[in-house]
Amino acid sequence: MIFPLKVIYEDEHLALIHKPAGILVSGNGFMTLANALDQNLKQSSQPDATLPRPIHRLDYATTGILLCGKTSSCIRALSKLFQDKLVHKTYFAIAIGQMNTSGSITTPIDGKRSKSHFEVIESVPSERFGTLNLVKLSPETGRRHQLRKHLAGLGNPILGDKDYGQEGLILNGKGLYLHAHSITFKHPVSKELLTLASPLPEKFSKIFLSQIKL
């Protein structure tokens, strides 16, 4: 086994797993989450069973829930759900600095339409960063690094973001405080509306103790 993965949900057609930080979802390297799926998931007994495949991506440093297909037909159906924007994802991040309690960000990314909704769940004072905010994020589009770029564009970069953070406010050694928390979609086979979640990492609850059950 390459490495063990936490399986959140699995059936004959699809699975949802927890992606740890510091690993690529897919790519040319051997140590990718895609390469580890076969050792962590049960083989489907469906006639079009295939090697499990991630349906979407999460950044290298991002943790959280990831949807995977286990049959050729389900992979196609799930990919179309994403294409048709019928998959709803919720993220949580810790953002730096004073910010509005809620809003939408529509700044284009790489010249393409982009939209993210945010809601501040809780704020705490910080000696080093001034204010830290636990922020719930709902992206409408799926551009590369969208949430990181959108929050940085507001002047509220995500804690631990070395690419889009502000000089002097980079937290080293703790990773990126961005977590893919939940996903909602209609199962392509059973047609059941599924909502599944991956609990917040412990490092979030150390800052926001009242939100430990999120």
Q: Report, as residue numbers or ranges, the catalytic residues.
A: 59
DSSP string covering the chain, please?
A: -----EEEEE-SSEEEEEEPSS-BSSSSSSSBHHHHHHHHSPPP-STTEEEEEESS---TT-EEEEEEEEEHHHHHHHHHHHHTT--EEEEEEEEES---SEEEE---BTTB---EEEEEEEEEEETTTEEEEEEEEEESS--TTHHHHHHHHHT-PBTT-TTTSPTT-PPPSS---EEEEEEEEE-TTT--EEEEE-PPPHHHHHH-GGGTT-
Pairing of the two strands 49-54 and 63-71? antiparallel
